[in-house]
Amino acid sequence: MNIRIFLMTWLAMTVIVSCTEKPKRLSEKNQGLNIIPAPNNVQSSGTPSDISQLKIFLAVDMKSEYFTQLFGDNKNVSWVTQKEANVQYRSFPELEKEGYRLEIKKDSIIISASGKTGMQYGMVSLAQILAHHGFPLPQVVIEDSPKFGYRGMHLDVGRHFFSVGEVKKYLDYMAYYKFNNFHWHLTEDQGWRIEIKKYPKLQEVAAYRKETLIGHYNDEPQKYDGKRYGGFYTHEEVKDIVAYATARNINVIPEIEMPGHAQAALAAYPELGCENKKYEVATKWGVFEDVFCPNEVTFKFLEDVIDEVITLFPGKYIHIGGDECPKEAWKRSAFCQQLIKKENLKDEHGLQSYFIQRMEKYINSKGKQIIGWDEILEGGLAPNATVMSWRGIEGGIAAARQNHDVIMTPGTHCYFDHYQSESPDEPLAIGGYTTVDKVYSWEPIPDSLAEDKRKYILGGQSNLWSEYIKEYSGVEYMVYARGMAMSEALWSRKKDYAAFLPRYISHNDYWKAKGANMAFHLYDLKPVVKAGEGKPVTISFVLPEGAEIQYSADKGQTKKMDLTNPLVLAQSGNYNFVAGKNGRMGKPFNLLFEQHLGTTATITLENEAAKQYSGNGPGSIINGIKGSDEKYGGTEWLGFDGLDAGGVLDFGKSSELNSISFRFFKGEGQWIYLPKSVEVFTSEDGKTFTSLKKVNDIKTDSKIAGINLDIKGAKARYLKFVASNYGMIPEGSQGAGHKAWLFVDEVVVN
Ligand code: ACM
């Protein structure tokens, strides 16, 4: 230990000794300081500090425009010499790499860390205390370090392009919440966004599409805006962004997609495809058959691209995509079939693995490591690859079991392109339903992973795909609220959602005051509707502490809801609920309840709905409330992953039946297909069932297929239905090679 480090260490240790003796009161919950993500240890004496002005000395290696930006134009902050400063740094090599210690004393503030990142995080926490608590500052000692080393945020600039200034805003947001990896999704079917000097047509052709789909992919007929759209980042702009990120201790991971999502590159250089045809930059969303051909021209192209890319990105990772690569073109290609034989590969999945492994070898030879989406597991994992698990957690588990590093980013919790509220006036999104509390609850390490494999889970990441996000204000709307929850899921060792909420509100106000387009759904009502248990339907709501609900039925008198008991929905009607606290209100929640014979029945499902699409349990499909015409997420629709939707209703006594109707959701872009058939059966004993009616050939031109079966004259205590899953999605359709999803709501019996 040299004398400088010794002195620094001694100084920092002196601070620890002096402060660990003092604290009189512990405030583990970070209440009032409003720091997000919650620090791991907060000790407060409860006494205010005398400091009324932060006089900050920036040591030479800490000089950064970021810090001056961080504190903004706060009048109570000035930048001074070391002698005049009351905010000082201490180098403390024993602290963890990203850890820091922030001590606010009576008349001085000391931030200790082992390096630049920790120093920055200490400064960010101090800036947050200033912004969200203010003067007088409390005397406090914070000791903090992250739970996960990889805390990422992804941004798709392929579907929609965001300017250099907007990407920098994203990086500022990331730095404020201590994220440390920016996954920059730079190439897509709809646009190639990074300048590659050796291939000018990437800029001239691949960066622009002739028009863009209007509305949702599932809308029929599909319409286009007729406007040319595009853009790309020059080398200088990329360097500028990387430097900006580096100044915030954020590593930038460029993603160059291969072999799929390559249509824009093929439009510029058709020789990279397997077929002799004209390719076009894609104008709509989805997955496309036109992918890179694994020929020598392609490998040379991609190696040249990588050569330029690595001159721009100092970090160790290059993301090579690897997801959603249809194999049709390879199946049709004599060249690919020969290559499969020559290389002794099993099939086209083996060929994809050959592709990725060859590129990995090249990238490794340049001293870099690859990351790939979890499809890179299929056909054999490249030896040094890190796997990004997005189609759930299974890919991550499989990779960790093979001793590969993993970044968890399952769609269920990490996809910020999903809806975050059930409100019908939400901006158009791809689908799904991922709320702030759901993100907050996320644990990146799967329970089923053995203890000795857990070290391979490096951390997690939120993903923002931009099909439906045209402007940066849309990025703010989809990311800024849920990002706070994500930061805590990745950083904080002790999570507490109730304690998070006041901090979340304070931060929401902060961004709003800065003009950000914040989503705020805290008081939007999430109904818990109970049905299917042979009793009248009831409704209650999950609400943050202290919030109240007003409601009315059929525009009648408004009443305060008794939150101690669920409300019984005794008769059909139009109900209106609204919640709020301290004048801050959520969106009104309207509910049309239509009583039918099924609403008081008992239901048993043949197969369980997928966990993330299980509504409020099996009763959701007979509760008298129809799922949204537009979205399949939320608490009404039940989603079955590759399984039939079927069940038995017990009416309690033999009952006369007139009709039974079903609603199914169609969303082929999200792999949601209509059932092949629906059949209904009756029984008096619940054991022997007789088939009553069956329909095949279910079709619709809209998002909902409604089936109405006339069963007049039938009488039974039990009614069984089976909607048979579409099955394996065939080649040429969205989701080819995967099992179809089947969504149902509602089953109405009269
Ligand atoms: C992905 O969402 N296709 C990785």
Per-block average pLDDT, block size 10, for the chain (750 residues)? 34 33 43 92 91 90 84 90 94 94 97 94 97 94 97 98 98 98 98 98 98 92 96 98 97 98 98 97 96 98 98 98 96 98 96 97 98 95 96 97 98 96 90 94 97 98 98 98 98 94 95 96 92 96 89 93 93 95 90 96 97 94 94 90 98 97 94 97 97 95 94 97 97 88 98
Distance (Å) from CA 171 to ligand 1 centroid: 22
Same domain, residue pair 123 and 250: no
pTM of the model: 0.86
Tell whether 259 is covered by a domain: yes
**Ligand 1 site-directed mutation target among 217, 255, 291, 324, most atoms within 8 Å of CB:** 324
- Residue 73 pLDDT: 80
Residues in the chain: 750
DSSP string, 64-101: -HHHHHHHTT-TTEEE--TTT-SEEEEE-TTS-TT-EE
Same domain, residue pair 409 and 558: no
Residue corresponding to tokens 């059929």: 554
503: enclosing H helix or E strand? helix 497-513
Q: Where does a domain end: 561, 593, 625?
A: 593
Q: Where does a domain end: 542, 569, 593?
A: 593
Tell whether 349 is covered by a domain: yes
- Which has the closest alpha carbon to 121: 174, 76, 176? 176
516: helix, strand or coil:
coil
Tell whether 11 is covered by a domain: no
Task: Read off the CATH number of the domain in which 77 is found.
Answer: 3.30.379.10
Tell whether 475 is covered by a domain: yes
398: helix, strand or coil:
helix
Q: Can you count the helices (H) and strands (E) in the chain?
A: 16, 40
Distance (Å) from CA 600 to ligand 1 centroid: 41
Tell whether 33 is covered by a domain: no
Same domain, residue pair 641 and 603: yes
Burial class (CB within 10 angstroms; exposed 0-12, middle 13-18, buried 19+) of 451: exposed
**Beta bridge mates, 509:** none
Q: Where does a domain end: 129, 144, 159?
A: 144
> 373 in ligand 1 pocket by Cβ < 6 Å?
yes
CA 589, CA 597: separation in Å to the nearest integer?
25
CA 241, CA 159: separation in Å to the nearest integer?
19
- Residue 32 pLDDT: 87
Same domain, residue pair 605 and 749: yes
Task: Read off the CATH number of the domain in which 468 is found.
Answer: 3.20.20.80
Same domain, residue pair 202 and 305: yes
Task: Read off the CATH number of the domain in which 551 is found.
Answer: 2.60.40
Q: Where are the alpha helices (DSSP H) in 228-269?
A: 235-246, 263-268
Q: What domain count does the chain have?
A: 4
Same domain, residue pair 614 and 737: yes
Same domain, residue pair 198 and 279: yes
> The domain containing residue 552 runs over which residues?
523-593
Distance (Å) from CA 415 to ligand 1 centroid: 9
Tell whether 279 is covered by a domain: yes
The β-bridge relationship of strands 25-26 and 41-48 is antiparallel
> 324 in ligand 1 pocket by Cβ < 6 Å?
yes
**Ligand 1 site-directed mutation target among 261, 373, 461, most atoms within 8 Å of CB:** 373
CA 516, CA 523: separation in Å to the nearest integer?
19
Same domain, residue pair 430 and 475: yes
Tell whether 32 is covered by a domain: no
Which atom of ligand 1 is found nearest the CA of 388? 4
Same domain, residue pair 420 and 502: yes
Distance (Å) from CA 365 to ligand 1 centroid: 27
> 391 in ligand 1 pocket by Cβ < 6 Å?
no
CB 202 within 8 A of CB 216: no
> 411 in ligand 1 pocket by Cβ < 6 Å?
no
Tell whether 19 is covered by a domain: no
Distance (Å) from CA 325 to ligand 1 centroid: 11
Task: Read off the CATH number of the domain in which 686 is found.
Answer: 2.60.120.260
Distance (Å) from CA 390 to ligand 1 centroid: 6
> 390 in ligand 1 pocket by Cβ < 6 Å?
yes
Same domain, residue pair 325 and 425: yes
Nearest CA, atom 2, ligand 1: 390
CB 153 within 8 A of CB 475: no
**Ligand 1 site-directed mutation target among 465, 671, 734, 738, most atoms within 8 Å of CB:** 465
> 323 in ligand 1 pocket by Cβ < 6 Å?
yes
Same domain, residue pair 174 and 274: yes
CB 474 within 8 A of CB 480: no
Same domain, residue pair 94 and 231: no
